[in-house]
Amino acid sequence: MEKIDTHCHIVPPGWRKWCEEHGWDKPDGMPCIPEWSAEGHIALMDKLGIKRSIPSITSPGTLLKRVTRETNIKISQICRQSPGRFDVEGSLEEIDHALELGASGFAAMTNAQVYYMGDSRFDPVFKKLNQHKTRAVVNLLLSGTVTQFENLTSLVSHCGATLPPLVERFSAFSTRMLKSSEKMASERVKEIFSTRFYFDLAEMPFPDLIHGYLRIGTPERLLYGSDYPYTPSAVIEILNKTMDEQMKELFDQEQLQRIFSRNACELHL
């Protein structure tokens, strides 16, 4: 079945060199920043039936404006060289510049210098993103960022990871934890998840994690993801086989088509 990969990464040589020179060559506990090429990525896509990939930069991000600009330009060049195969995922001026380059959306790290996404320091950034209706999770909910900027649609990685079993806990204690008037009952959280959030299936949501997600979300908000090249191609092939087998036990044919591609198409990815 044809797929659209909403969670994969691009590793421009200049960005990789910059990370290694500044001591960020083992991001998030990874042994290294993997090698990447457009040719190798496209070969994997052809093997797995992936029609289009939405690549983004991952940890540690770009941090400096010069590196951000250089990286966005390089990514746009790579995507133009392979039209129809890659779509670009790309600070206020840089948002406009990335959109001029053809960015479909913006990847956001969970925090920047220990300030998390819902921090009021980032309100001008989310205001700018909100104007463009782009898509950039407990902090976003409890801070009121999600309800303040109603045009934002967020894509959450790894099937929500540890988020699903924590919904009841953080919603029950939200008014005690933060000085915020935003009350987030679990029903409200699930409503927001079903209208403003999407969750990808990158890495290992099967056999267990998917069931946690289905307690708080629906197939209409699921997207396919590979996490290439941080997950090696040989491992992705194994995980895809497991995914294909177990998804047939959970979802009907129409739901499978939505998850693999139609949901992403409706997001205009």
Q: What is the pLDDT of residue 99?
A: 66
CATH number, domain containing residue 96: 3.20.20.140
58: confidence class by pLDDT, cuts 50, 70, 90: confident
| Total domains in the fold of the chain | 1
Q: What is the pLDDT of residues 207-226, one digit of tens each?
A: 999 999 999 999 999 999 99
For 226, the domain range is: 3-266
Q: Report the pLDDT value the prediction gives residue 132, as an integer from 0 to 100.
A: 55
pLDDT tens digits for range 237-265: 999 999 999 999 999 999 999 999 999 99
Looking at residue 91, its pLDDT comes to 43
* Average pLDDT value for the chain: 82
* Neighbour tally for 195: CB within 10 Å: 10
Tokens of 242: 């497991």
Place of tokens 């200049």: 14
Name the range with the highest mean pLDDT among 30-34, 148-152, 182-186: 30-34
* Rounded average pLDDT over 130-138: 61
Q: pLDDT (tens digit, 9 = 90+) per residue, 3-56?
A: 999 999 988 888 888 888 888 888 888 889 999 999 999 999 999 999 999 888
This prediction's pTM = 0.77
